[in-house]
Each structure stands twice: as C-alpha cells, then as structure tokens.
Amino acid sequence: MLAIDRHRWLLDELNERGSLRTSEIAERAGVAEETIRRDFEKLEAEGILSRTHGGAVRLEADRREFPAGERALQHATEKQSIARCAARRLRAGQTVYFDASTTVLELVRVMPDIPLTVVTNSIENALALAEKRDVSCVLLGGTMHPGSLSCTGWAAEKSLEIYHLDAAFLSCRGIDADRGFSDASEAQAQLKHSVVERAAQVFLLADTSKCGVTSSYFFAGGADLDVWIAETPPPSQVASALVSQGLRIVCAEDEGS
C-alpha cells in the first residue's frame, strides 16, 4: 500500500472509529509500527489528528486545520467585506505582516498596488503579491505545511526577528470573550504570537462566526491586539468583554465594504 493510500485509509478508519491503536493498525496494514507512527506524525503536523500514547484520536471540527482550498469557501462574502475594509488601513512605505489565513489572502487580492514591504509565511500570499509591481514581498522560510501552503517553525521565527513591523494582519479559528484568539495549529499559533509581540499595530481580520469557538492553541488576548475588523457587529457579550480589554472593533458594513 502506497503512503498516500495508507493515509486515506487511516483517515477513513479514524473518522469511523474516533481513535486508533498503532499496534492494531500496523498489523492490519501489514507494515511496521514505526511506519504508522510516522504516518500519525505527518497527519498531526497537517492538523488532521492528535497523537496519543499508543495511537491517535480524531480532532473535532473546531480543532482541525482544514486545507486552504476548503477554508477559502467558508464565509467567502464576509471575508471579502473584511478584506476591503482592512485594505484601507494600509499605508505606502509600511512594512507589514500577512499571515497564512484565507481572509488575509482576500486582503492581498483587493489591496492597492502601493509601495509596501510585506512579510508573510504564506506561499499563496507570495504568489498573489508577485502580480503587484510596487509591493516587495519577503517569504519566511521554515517547515512547509501542504494543507495551509505556509511555513512555520524555528527558521520562520528567526527570520522574523530582523524586521520592524509597522502593522500585522492576522486571522484566527476561534474567538473567546475571556481568553482571546486561538488557532488549530500549534505551529501557526506560535508564529502568530511572535508576530503580535513584534508588530507596532495588530489587526485581527475575522468574521463573527468564530465567536464562541475555542480552537486548540491561544496566541493572543484582547489586550494584545489593537483592532478587530469584523463584517458585522459581534455578539454584545463578546464585544463588551474584548472592548473592556482595550480592543477596538470595526465593522466593515459601517464603512460600506
């Protein structure tokens, strides 16, 4: 059985059963247990499952890192509205950071072609920015994740250290009124945390469907970010809690986006 076929089979088994034991799966697949462990490591890195002692378990939907193409189809209209609103915050001469979210990719598509330096860990962002002649793009290196088409890890974070970031534009998987903003991927969350610490101003681009969702890894709280751009006003309880922490909320619909 080829590795790609084995991975599909493992995911089918995991979706049906919820958890798998390494020894049992290795015997059924006719491969060494070490091979299955490596399979689990790869699938965990892609945000599809979580390894446990002796096996693996299925991740719930809010904790999975979905492929970029699948994420792009979710709440597309809201993302476009948010992106147009965010584009008006860009200023010529800035050095800004764009994360690997599909909402920020929409920002790349609608932003004006003005003199900017964009630092990003997203391969898709870099390809889209290549069409803008006045934008200088810096693509961070590191470990490449096929699902999100992005790079993370020690190399990405070390590269980030040499830049002064006037602003950062990030998204998230979940928004919790008290704990803040979370992501499904530990590596993505760690890189976002590093960006938040370095950027002079941080914009969150996230639609309100993420309110009340808690994903696996928190990377910032309400006091750590400056502006949240949403498509419509978020639930009052969430808004009140985050505003009390110092976060400003901007609604794209109020600006006609």
11-56, pLDDT tens digit by residue? 878 877 888 999 999 999 899 999 999 888 887 766 677 788 888 8
Picking from 16, 42, 59, the residue at the C-terminal end of a domain is: 59
Domain of residue 23: give its range: 3-59
Q: What does the alpha-carbon distance between residue 199 and residue 96 come to, in Å, rounded to a whole number?
A: 8
**List of residues 6+ apart from 181 with CB closer than 8 A:** 172, 174, 175, 204, 206, 218, 219, 220, 221, 225
Residues 6 or more apart whose CB falls under 8 angstroms from that of 84 comprise 110, 252, 257
Q: Cα separation of 29 and 15, whole Å?
A: 17
Do 152 and 231 fall within a single domain? yes
| 119 and 31 in a common domain | no
Contacts 24+ apart (CB under 8 A), 174-177: 174/62, 174/210, 174/212, 174/213, 174/214, 174/215, 175/206, 175/210, 175/211, 175/212, 175/213, 175/234, 175/238, 175/242, 176/212, 176/213, 176/214, 176/218, 177/211, 177/237, 177/238, 177/240, 177/241, 177/242
Dihedral angle computed from the Cα positions of residues 51, 53, 55 and 57, in that order, rounded to the nearest 10 degrees: -50
pLDDT score for 120? 98
Q: What is the CATH number of the domain that holds 36?
A: 1.10.10.10
State which of 41, 59, 77 marks the end of a domain: 59
Looking at the fold, whether 169 and 92 belong to one and the same domain comes out as: yes
pLDDT in tens, 68-119: 554 444 567 899 999 999 999 999 999 999 999 999 999 999 999 999 999 9
Note whether 53 and 72 are same-domain residues: no
Give the angle subtended at the CA of 190 by the CAs of 185 and 192, to the nearest 5°. Answer: 95
Residue 238 in this model has a pLDDT that exceeds 70: yes
How many structural domains compose the chain?
Answer: 2
pLDDT at 74: 55
The CATH number linked to 174 is 3.40.50.1360
Same domain, 73 and 176: yes
CB 57 within 8 A of CB 68: no
Residue-averaged pLDDT of the chain: 89
Examine the domain organization and report whether 143 and 183 are in the same domain.
yes
Residue-wise pLDDT for 171-186, tens only, equals: 999 999 999 999 988 8
Both 242 and 121 in a single domain?
yes
Give the pLDDT band of residue 60 (cuts 50, 70, 90). low
Q: What is this structure's pTM? A: 0.74
Task: Kindly state whether residues 103 and 20 are assigned to the same domain.
Answer: no
pLDDT at 152: 94
- The reply to whether 106 and 189 lie within a common domain is yes
Higher pLDDT, 43 or 153: 153
8 and 96 both lie in a single domain: no
